[in-house]
Amino acid sequence: MFTGIVEEVGRVAELRREGGHARLHIACRDVVEGVAIGDSIAVAGCCVTATELEAGGGASGFVADLMAETLAATSLGDLEVGSRVNLERALRADARLGGHLVQGHVDGVGEVVDRAEEPGTVWLSIAAPAEVAPYLVAKGSITVDGASLTVVDVTDHAAAAGATFRVALIPHTLEVTTFGDRTVGDRVNLEADVIAKYVERLLAAGTTTPYTALQES
């Protein structure tokens, strides 16, 4: 579990493709502190497992193995050596929940369709695919490339075409995340609010749940 509060921006040191999967090496410093092999780290919003750790000698970072499904379902397959990525360690039980509940499970890949700047604010418009669109609500939460952001407004399209939503970024966010680099045409990982997904599932199944059935018996 994560919070969507980016701890560090790392760089891709290596992305070695081997058959349908890949080996991803991220160069970073802060995020590897206190991390052990087998721990989870969110890379651009995608939860991966640290399989190797590198520290000392002026270099630090970690290695993660990416399945073919991960490469196909997220934007991690777009990465190149030198690409910058948002990083966050898994949430500790005694830590503050500064953003919102984030699983690191990418629901779909969106595309930046507009970037507008004004003093103190950058507005990004992102086209979300149909599988993410139902969970977008004004003033609600959305995870974009691992960062917890607030949806400003939503424009719905035809069911199969998804929706477009806007987020507003302050200078601090632009400085400590990869959003300062984002431009029209970039693909971004999207994760909808997990609470909304559970509510939808319960409503789709009907009003009677094992809990309510027990109360009624």
- pLDDT tens track for 55-64: 655 668 999 9
Query: What are the tokens at 32?
Result: 């590897």
Domains 8-89 and 108-203 share a fold: yes
pLDDT of amino acid 214:
47
Range among 43-57, 106-120, 152-166 rated most confident: 106-120
Q: How crowded is the C-beta side of 108, counted as CA atoms within 13 Å?
A: 19
Which class does domain 108-203 fall in? mainly beta
Q: Amino acid identity, residue 76?
A: L
Q: Per-residue pLDDT tens for 122-176?
A: 999 999 999 999 999 999 999 999 999 999 999 998 878 899 999 999 999 999 9
Query: What are the tokens at 131?
Result: 């599988």
Task: State whether the Cα torsion 117-118-122-126 is positive or negative.
Answer: negative
Query: What are the tokens at 83?
Result: 């690409």
Q: How crowded is the C-beta side of 152, counted as CA atoms within 13 Å?
A: 12
Domain ranges in the chain are 8-89, 108-203
Lowest mean pLDDT among 49-53, 166-170, 191-195: 191-195
Query: What are the tokens at 41?
Result: 């780290």
Give DSSP secondary structure letters for 170-193. -HHHHHHSGGGT--TT-EEEEEE-
pLDDT (mean) for 179-201: 92
Q: What is the CATH number of domain 8-89?
A: 2.40.30.20
pLDDT of amino acid 144:
98
Q: Does 92 have pLDDT greater than 90?
A: no
- Within 10 Å of residue 11's Cβ, how many Cβ atoms? 15
Q: Per-residue pLDDT tens for 200-214?
A: 888 887 755 554 554
Residue 3 — pLDDT band, cuts 50, 70, 90?
very high
Question: For residue 105, which of 175, 198, 182 has the smallest C-alpha distance?
Answer: 198
Average model confidence (pLDDT) across the chain = 91
